[in-house]
Chain A
Amino acid sequence: MRRLGWAPYALLLPSLVFLALFFATPMFQAFALGLQDRDGNIGLSSVERMVTDSNFRNAVTTTLALVILVLPLQFFLAISMALIVNARLKGQGLWLYVFALPLGISELAAGIVWVSIFTQSGWLNTILEGLGMIDRPIIWQSAETPWLIILTIVIAEAWRATSIIMIILVAGLQSIPPEFLEAADVYGATTWQKVRRVILPMLRPSLQVALILRAILAFQVFATVVALGGTGVTVLSEEAVRWANDIDNDNVAAAYAGLILILSIGATALFLVLLPTREEQYG
């Protein structure tokens, strides 16, 4: 093979410098901020403050609950949507646009729309009362029933963020060589067998990418919780914002951000181990 010399590294250098200056350095500084106290002494006092805060447990359990509930739901929905889009049904172009619509809406705007649905005098209660299914409005966002609030957040997040996964999976589906599907047809496979034996395994690289991406974003869930949750539920990023803005303690806020980072790295490592991809799946 011809020796490439220093040219490729020189071409990479500007990007590396940019990343180091604007991403890596602030990230390390932010992480370090979480390991200091207000006066700049290195130590675990800010982490301790974070862990002993009365809202910490609430934040951790709610964030984990959301990740565990939202991810499988979104994957099931996204794979179905991707298969529909890829099946080239009549009006196929329309399906793609309809499914991708939520991508164009900001997180907070989506949250506000869902508030108008779930609030006591909102759309959902009006429809349910009109259909006679309930005789008085259900208070979906009551702090006395936090699991109900979490349900509304799961629904809102599933609506809002499934499109991202779907788009990745559509791209993945379209890169499956048609020969495999034709061979499956030749051997008389049913649609379900095709999906299970050919499509899903071949989709593994895309699934891995999409899962990691979505998990990282799920640990950072913020605007939807702010819009729907009120003070009844809180998540890690909301606590980070509260400590930074309201309580004016950047160290504890950085500790929360560091915790989100560690959880995201852990989840990424987990998916890389659970979904190893083989050579032939790269097509």
Chain B
Amino acid sequence: MPSQPITRRLLALVAVLALLVAACGDAGGTATTAPATGGTSPGPDGSPIEGASPAPPSGPITMLSSQFGPVEEQEKVRSDVLANFSGEVEFVAFAESAQFQDRLQAEAQAGSGDISVLGALHGDLAPLAADGHLSDLSDLAEELSGLGISEEYLELGKLGTDQQLYIPWAQATYIMVARNEALEHLPDGADINDLTWEQLTEWGANITEATGDRRLGFPAGEDGLLHRLFQGHTYPAFTGALNTTFGTPAAVEMWTWMKETWQYTNPQSTTYGFMQEPLQSGEVWVAWDHVARLINALEADPESFTAFPVPEGPEGRAFMPVLAGLSIPTWAPNPEGARELIRYLLQPEQQSATLASLAFFPVLTGELPGDLPPAVQAEQEAVAAQIGSDNALPALLPVGLGDQNGAYNQVFKDAFQQIVIENGDPATVLPTQATALQGVLDTAGAACWFPDPEGEGTCQVGQ
């Protein structure tokens, strides 16, 4: 019958249209637009109210971040941290430093672009500052001085000039977390808050002997931050420096230690990007990782885990503080809105929210409002113990590498692959990698950074 096919076709068409409308309606509803007004909110009689929240800045503000790249973290930024901002923010995060640099260089060359606020690590902002792409925020820093931002970090924010090129935003570091069932296998006389790297290996050996399983864990996967273990922790702890002691006998000792520790490490570590998952599933009992990549385990089950500071080596308790800052590019389309956003993010409420949901610690020295959730409290204690220990050795993230950041990290990943996974001899692998490392430093023209002795000219790799 002629009418039947037509009715079916009509129904199908209506269904498709309904789906389209639903999809489009959803997409249009999420962005909230603020009315474009300037100045402070007026009171009932028209005069400005003291202490009232500032009126929303005109137009949308695009923020580009090199942190919080994983989708989960981006969502937390949007829903927990930026939610109470009165303006419209488009938050974009690039997980890879190279993409971040590429995008900004492209906008710099064009002289204009979309991005008004940058949220990035000290090392990502340094090359942009060197090229003169960052605005001077000294007046903003002056304005925010009442909040109690750490003086040392503000100084770092000048990036060696007399201008305030970034406002410190948040900091993170690396700690260790253990499942409580591992605690009974600690070596005799060892204090979990004061371990040495050798004691960690002994701990792993004890666990393997008792259970037959390899239960230490390191993030040696594609997305893992294992290279930071070597750059900021074991190299400074064993050798006292990084580039200038890359191939020295002390370094050979460090790699030999790593090979031995690997025997007690879960070999599936080469697939781990975030240690919180294997910790929760029990595949790993003792793990080292970035605070933001351990937080989920502590949150899910605070009673089953213990967070503790990284172990120390012969040269000290080395760890890597990760400092992120907020900056405004010189071509920003909405500099007023950008300043508004920076003010917002530095408020104690937002610093607390950033800590609670993203495990990035505040740059404010004062008390934070509200109670911290137990997971964050646990991490905060480990971080404080680390920073507060008498032989603390904060090793800076690489500075001045620009687009060579990835190549620099790859040297350490390759060294690990060849020495530990492929069972190479450190004494033969390190010279080859040292040449590669020097090549990267030469291409970037990077000077040494702490804990290497600071000096003029390109950093020289030591052997």
Distance of A8 Cα from B266 Cα, bound (Å): 64
- Please state if B267 and A248 are interface contacts (CB–CB under 8 Å): no
B421 contact from A119, A144, A226, A242, Cβ within 8 A: A144
Contact with B along A219-240 (1 / 0, CB 8 A): 0000000101111100000000
| Interface residue tally for chain A (C-beta within 8 Å) | 25
Residue B221 lies at the interface, judged by CB distance under 8 Å to chain A = yes
B268 near A142 with CB under 8 A, answer yes
- How many A-B residue pairs have C-beta atoms within 8 angstroms? Tell me: 80
Complex CA distance for A115 and B222, rounded to whole angstroms: 14
**Would you call B403 an interface residue if the criterion is a C-beta within 8 Å of the partner chain's C-beta atoms?**
yes
Q: Is B259 an interface residue (CB 8 A)?
A: no
* CB of A277 within 8 Å of the partner chain: no
Which residues in window 99-147 of A have CB below 8 A to B? 115, 119-121, 136, 139, 141-145
Say yes or no: B268 contacts A119, CB within 8 Å: yes
The chain A residue with its CB closest to the CB of B413 is: A231
Provide the bound-state CA to CA distance between A228 and B222, in Å. 11
Q: Return the chain B residue nearest A230 by Cβ.
A: B271
Which residues of B (261-306) have their CB < 8 Å from a CB of A? Answer: 266-268, 270-272, 281-283
Interchain CB contact under 8 A, B96 and A143: no
Q: Of residues 149 to 168 in B, which have CB atoms within 8 Å of A's CB atoms?
A: none
| CB–CB A245/B268 < 8 A | no
Are the C-beta atoms of A139 and B407 separated by less than 8 Å? no
In the assembled complex, which residues on chain B have CB atoms less than 8 Å from the CB atom of A226? 222
The residue in A120, A143, A228, A231 that gathers the most chain B C-beta atoms within 10 A of its C-beta is A231
Question: A245 and B221: CB pair below 8 A?
Answer: no
Closest-CB distance, B123 to chain A (whole angstroms): 14
How many angstroms from the CA of A147 to the CA of B212 in the assembled complex?
23
Closest partner residue, chain A, to B418 (CB atom): A54
- Complex: A34 Cα to B407 Cα, angstroms: 18
Instruction: For B283, list chain A residues within 8 Å (CB).
Output: 119-121
Q: Is A249 an interface residue (CB 8 A)?
A: yes
Interface residue B101 (Cβ < 8 Å from any Cβ of A): yes
Taking a contact as CB atoms under 8 Å apart, the answer to whether A248 and B98 are in contact is: yes
Q: Check if B409 is an interface residue, CB within 8 A of chain A.
A: yes
**Contact yes or no, A247 B406, CB < 8 A:** yes
A139 touches B267 (CB 8 A): yes
| CB contact under 8 A between A142 and B414, given known A231-B221, A232-B421, A248-B404 | no
* Shortest Cβ distance from residue A33 to the other chain B in the assembled complex, whole angstroms: 15
Cβ 8 A contact of A144, one of B267, B282, B410: B267
Shortest A147–chain B CB gap in Å is 14
Cα–Cα distance between A242 and B98 once the two chains are bound (Å): 11
B395 at the A/B interface (Cβ < 8 Å)?
no
Closest Cβ–Cβ distance, residue A153 to chain B (whole Å): 12
Hey, which chain B residues are within 8 Å of A120, CB to CB?
Answer: 266, 268, 281, 283
Let me know if B406 and A245 touch, CB within 8 A: yes
- A121 to B282, Cβ gap below 8 A? yes
Specify which of B267, B282, B403, B410 is in contact with A143 (CB 8 Å cutoff). Answer: B267
In the complex, A246 has a CB within 8 A of chain B: yes
Give residues of chain B (409-423) contacting chain A, Cβ–Cβ below 8 Å: 409-410, 413-414, 417-418, 421
B222 touches A121 (CB 8 A): no
- Asked if residues B406 and A248 are in contact (CB atoms below 8 Å), the reply is yes
**Which residues on B sit within 8 Å (CB–CB) of A136?**
212-213
B458 interface contact, C-beta 8 A: no
Q: Which residues of B contact A248 (CB under 8 A)?
A: 98, 101-102, 403-407
For B37, what are the chain A residues with a Cβ–Cβ distance below 8 Å?
none
The reply to whether B407 and A249 form a contact with Cβ atoms under 8 Å apart is: yes
Q: Can you list 20 residue pairs at the A/B interface with Cβ under 8 Å?
A: A119-B271, A119-B281, A119-B283, A120-B266, A120-B281, A121-B283, A143-B421, A144-B267, A226-B222, A228-B271, A230-B221, A230-B222, A231-B221, A231-B224, A231-B421, A232-B271, A245-B406, A246-B410, A248-B101, A248-B403
In the A-B complex, list the 5 residue pairs whose CB atoms are closest, starting with the nearest. Answer: A230-B271, A142-B267, A248-B98, A246-B406, A143-B270
Interface residues of A (CB under 8 A from B): 54-55, 115, 119-121, 136, 139, 141-145, 226, 228-232, 242, 245-249
Known A231-B271, A231-B413, A232-B271; 9 more pairs at CB < 8 Å: A54-B417, A55-B417, A119-B283, A120-B266, A120-B268, A230-B268, A230-B272, A231-B222, A232-B421
